[in-house]
Amino acid sequence: MFTLAHLSDMHLAPLPWPRLADLDAKRVLGLANWHRKRKQQHGRDVVDALVADIKRQRPDHIAVGGDLVNIGLPAEIEAARLWLESVGSPEAVSAVPGNHDVYGRMLAGQGIELWRAYMGGEGSFPFLRQFGRVALIGLSSAVPTPVFWASGRLGAEQRSRLAGLLDRLGAEGLCRVILIHHPPLPGQADRLRGLMDAPQLAALLARHGAELVMHGHNHQSTLRWAEGARGRIPVVGVPSASGRPGFHAPAARYNLFSFEAKGDTWRIELTGRQYQGDGRIAEVERVALTA
């Protein structure tokens, strides 16, 4: 039995006041949006409550699904690095970036490369973390976008490497778990917010297969199904890990997955644990994703 916790979209607060040199049109609008609305929606105390509960559950590994920060300021990136260290070591925690993590221009040494130890250690995608017979594959859909856009893209090179990985790991009988920020299937988000090469990724999954895909970005708890080479693949979205109740989105939640080998197949069970508004975290869902 192997257990994996998945949380995403921390949007860590507080948002530091930016230096003039760090500002561009997109960050100015993002800063205004944070102070107008988002700082009431997202709470660091909520994130801390979820992380404390995850640690009490003692999963074998923790997967962080991107959007650790808000407008991609260098001070935010550094604060997120310290937050990752507080969650666990790079051996215990893996992360992929989201669109908010590459929000604007960054000087070398001030961007998400500061999280490299948590992203496979090499700074390239996809990265692979193997835990016995469970393989975690981290993808980066984070690309700079214009004002009012929050879309993502994998690109042909990353997709090609992913296809090779899925084939090799599948031939070895491993349970292949994909971690990505943007929802991976066509129609899961509109054109300004979606994964631009979602149709290509869906076709790739249909050809090469996987056992589970985890994503964030939409701030919603969702279960969809992708066609796979060996049957349907569960595609599970998780709400923001900092969302307060009552803001037209689900309260903060994380998912805990258990994996158990059954011959040449896998039994995967999802347990959802959600913030209750008073600091408590309670189980709100338990469902078998495979027979």
User: Which among 249, 272, 285 has a CA at the least distance from the CA of 7?
Assistant: 272
pLDDT value of residue 107 = 66
Residue spans of the domains in the chain: they are: 2-288
What pLDDT digit, counting tens, does each position of 146-199 carry?
Answer: 999 999 999 999 999 999 999 999 999 999 999 999 999 999 999 999 999 999
Three-class secondary structure of residue 108 per DSSP: coil
- Residues 156-165 pLDDT 10s: 999 999 999 9
Q: Which two tokens stand for residue 58?
A: 């003692």
Q: Give the Å distances, CA to CA, from 237 to 9, 16, 39, 260.
A: 11, 29, 23, 21
Whole-model pTM: value is 0.97
Q: Are 104 and 95 in contact (CB under 8 A)?
A: no
Note the helical H segments in 179-286: 198-208
pLDDT at 8: 98
Residues of the chain with pLDDT under 70: 107-108
Cα dist. 224→131, 177, 186, 187, 289 in Å? 25, 15, 11, 11, 11
Q: Which CATH architecture has domain 2-288?
A: 4-Layer Sandwich (3.60)
Give dist(CA 227, CA 215) in Å, integer: 17
